[in-house]
Chains A and B, each alone.
Chain A
Amino acid sequence: MSRKIGRIVAASLATLAVAATAGCVAGGGSGDGAGSSSTIELWTHAGGNEAELGVITTIVEDFNASQDEYTVEVTDFPQDAYNDAVVAAATAGDLPCIVDIDGPNVANWAWAGYIQPLGLPEETYDGQLPGTLGVIDDEVYAYGFFDVALAMFSRESTLNDAGVRIPTVDDPWTGDEFDEALAKIDGLGRYDQAVDFGTGGGGEWIPYAYSPLLQSFGGDLIDRSTFETADGALNGPEALEWAQWFRGLVDSGYMAQTSGEDATADFVNGTSGILYTGNWADATVRDAFDDAVVLPPPNFGDGPKIGAGSWQWGLTTGCDEVDGARAYLEFAHDTKYFVEYGEATGLIPATLDAAEEIPAFAEGGDSRIYLELANQFAVVRPETAAYPFISSVFQKATQDILSGGDPQAILDKAVSDIDRDIEQNGGYTF
């Protein structure tokens, strides 16, 4: 009786099916026409960041003008949206030739087959800060133009009034000294919090900022000898000590369990005595205080540690124009562009040659300390394809610890989650 309905619905579906098949055939058949100049697509996370995007545009324009075989085309995304866009594009098989990658994701993307070794001559990377190279199994998958460093900011007046020694890169605070300093600054009664670790931050900030503290205590996110388990590293006595110390800062009132939306603004507005953040805050702090001082992070036993590995450039696996993309990446790896990056963004130039050409980072410059910190204390986040998962687990674990949960139980659960994930992925072997 309802044959008519059936027919209409069937017809609509059939049309779609035919269209779909036709589409597949058409899609499969259409190849890139060999034009006189082939286009190389490049994606960057720098959307909305005028300084960085400006440098990228300059490099690309210079490259396009330097030869007529290839034309590089830039597409920019806002940073927070970038990773999702790349993963979506990869899922859809639609990646561009050149991508930039947040350092800790390099291993995962290489494992997944998104990116391939750059294949540039070894000597290209001479004098480059190790944290700015994405190296897996001795192959370079990505290089970056800059790095960032974690440091502590305070004011000379604050430290002097509290009667605290001002630490240096060569002679940083010990853990005990640091705790003592906090007690004395707290005793001034001047600040809501003696120290602001940026605990209001979320996402990748947490492993970037707090896993170095954990490492300074002697723990780690994973056992780096095998990259097969987190057992012992993330739940051993050192890790537990770190967790108890960190939560202890909340209990003693030296630090907010969750700090404000913008720790730098709060510090400048006089809410906190010491600010722990990246060197991107440098300009804001120095503008506000004449007596601003930059301090190395404390040494909790295993030496001061800071994170490393910022945005880096890689070459995708599906790229049709590998030679052109390589030509671009080699062209871009030029000291003058490192200098331009450093000057435009104020971040640490990734090569020592470039650093010498930027007054702030040259010997005796105001920002030289960041280069020293990056050079001496930087520890890259574990170069394993398991990293995105580890990061997610560590974020939750840290937040739970700061909220006052049982640290041993939290760390044990984190370890079992990580180990389960590694096992499920066959050890993330290539």
Chain B
Amino acid sequence: MTTRTTAPPRQAAASDGTGQHRPSRTLKGERTAAAWMISPALVLFILFLIIPIVLAFGLAFTNTRLISPRPGEFVGLDNFAYLFTDPVFWASVRNTFAFALVVVPVQAGSALLLALLVNAKVRGTNFFRTVYFLPVVTSMVVVSLLWRFMYEKDGLINQFLGRVTGGAYDPIDWLNDPVWALPAIMFMSIWQGVAFHMVIWLAGLQTIPAELYEASEIDGANKLQQFRYVTWPGLRQTATLILVTITIASFSLFTQIAVMTQGGPLDSTTTVVYQAVRTGYQQLQTGLASAISLVFFAMVLVISGIQRYLTRERS
């Protein structure tokens, strides 16, 4: 985060400096244009993002309730003190990280494999691309319901595994087993989202000039070398984009949990956003829920800072 925070202003200052050599009319025109173009978005951001965030920030230090005749009172850090001693909250943090740590690389990687597979020049590309994309366009609520059916102990998945292994497989009660519930949700989430990232990878693949492949073929590179030296370097920017997208989706994990497990069994699938929603809407503790949200903001800021640092453009 820090690199980002400081770098652009310096850049802006530098261009201001060089601006002195240009006709000032141009620069003025540039500023006017910039102001007109950024204002609509800025106003909307302030109204519908910044102000609610500030409100949430304020609420986190009160004991405001969703339904109550008593006005909220300032309670200082009480909400945070409670959170940090609450084992369920810690379980949520652990699960959220575990989910992101597995899903981000696996989903990004499988999406790339899918993209390469779909990109191969074989008939039916459009058809397969569309079929793979079906889960993406299906609502997550609906998808979660469907998988809840399939994960049942004598549901389709166990039937299939039993058939494949010739009965050697001892059926797992996926969503009721504290060990397997989270992996089951990870699997289903990847299934749902992977095709979207496949499409982003595909778009990235198209930006790689064909001449580079031809040149490498002339140089006698094999397919693996081609991937290593031509394809991968050409996908750097796409990779950053995909990592950020999946990270966002993983940290916001909520719908699947709410529909499939409600955080159970034994807190093995509860997540931070799920806890925030449960605390805020079901338990009506607006203040405490805001505190959870605030911790969540802080958490993702640190993560995205690290991620931006790791994927920064080296120049």
Q: Do chains A and B touch in the complex (CB under 8 A)?
A: yes
Counted as pairs of residues, one from A and one from B, with CB atoms less than 8 Å apart, the total is 92
A171: Cβ under 8 A from any B Cβ? no
A337: Cβ under 8 A from any B Cβ? no
Do A405 and B34 touch across chains, with their CB atoms under 8 A apart? no
Do B32 and A91 touch across chains, with their CB atoms under 8 A apart? no
B126: Cβ under 8 A from any A Cβ? no
What is the total number of residues of chain B having a CB less than 8 Å from a CB of chain A?
Answer: 41
In angstroms, Cα B41 to Cα A9, docked, is 11
A400: Cβ under 8 A from any B Cβ? yes
B224: Cβ under 8 A from any A Cβ? no
In angstroms, Cα B148 to Cα A114, docked, is 37
In angstroms, Cα B287 to Cα A96, docked, is 27
Contact partners of B252 in chain A: CB under 8 A: none
Do B284 and A12 touch across chains, with their CB atoms under 8 A apart? no
- Bits for A194-224, please: 1 = Cβ < 8 Å to B, else 0: 0000000010000000000000000000000
B311: Cβ under 8 A from any A Cβ? no
B21 to chain A: closest CB distance in Å?
15
**In the complex, chain A residues 375-426 whose Cβ is within 8 Å of any chain B Cβ:** 388-389, 392-393, 395-396, 399-400, 403-405, 421, 424-426
B220: Cβ under 8 A from any A Cβ? no
Q: Is the interface of A mostly helix, strand, loop or mixed?
A: helix
A87: Cβ under 8 A from any B Cβ? yes
In angstroms, Cα B27 to Cα A223, docked, is 74
Closest to B32 in A: A4
In angstroms, Cα B43 to Cα A348, docked, is 55
A117: Cβ under 8 A from any B Cβ? no
Do B35 and A400 touch across chains, with their CB atoms under 8 A apart? no
**In the complex, chain A residues 1-16 whose Cβ is within 8 Å of any chain B Cβ:** 1-2, 4-5, 7-9, 12-13, 16
**Given A9-B39, A258-B175, A424-B63, also A1-B69 (CB < 8 A):** no
Do B263 and A113 touch across chains, with their CB atoms under 8 A apart? no
What is the total number of residues of chain A having a CB less than 8 Å from a CB of chain B?
Answer: 42
A270 to chain B: closest CB distance in Å?
13
B206: Cβ under 8 A from any A Cβ? no
Do A425 and B178 touch across chains, with their CB atoms under 8 A apart? no
Contact partners of B31 in chain A: CB under 8 A: 1-2, 4-5
**In the complex, chain A residues 245-265 whose Cβ is within 8 Å of any chain B Cβ:** 256-258, 260-261
The one of A90, A392, A404 that contacts B278, using a Cβ cutoff of 8 Å = A392
Contact partners of B214 in chain A: CB under 8 A: none
In angstroms, Cα B284 to Cα A392, docked, is 10
B67: Cβ under 8 A from any A Cβ? yes
Do B66 and A87 touch across chains, with their CB atoms under 8 A apart? yes
Contact partners of A90 in chain B: CB under 8 A: 67
B281: Cβ under 8 A from any A Cβ? yes
A22: Cβ under 8 A from any B Cβ? no
Contact partners of B38 in chain A: CB under 8 A: 5
B16: Cβ under 8 A from any A Cβ? yes
Task: List the interface of chain A (C-beta within 8 A of B).
Answer: 1-2, 4-5, 7-9, 12-13, 16, 84, 87, 90-91, 108-109, 111-114, 192, 202, 256-258, 260-261, 388-389, 392-393, 395-396, 399-400, 403-405, 421, 424-426
A-B contact pairs, 6 of them (CB 8 A): A1-B31, A84-B281, A261-B152, A392-B282, A400-B266, A421-B283
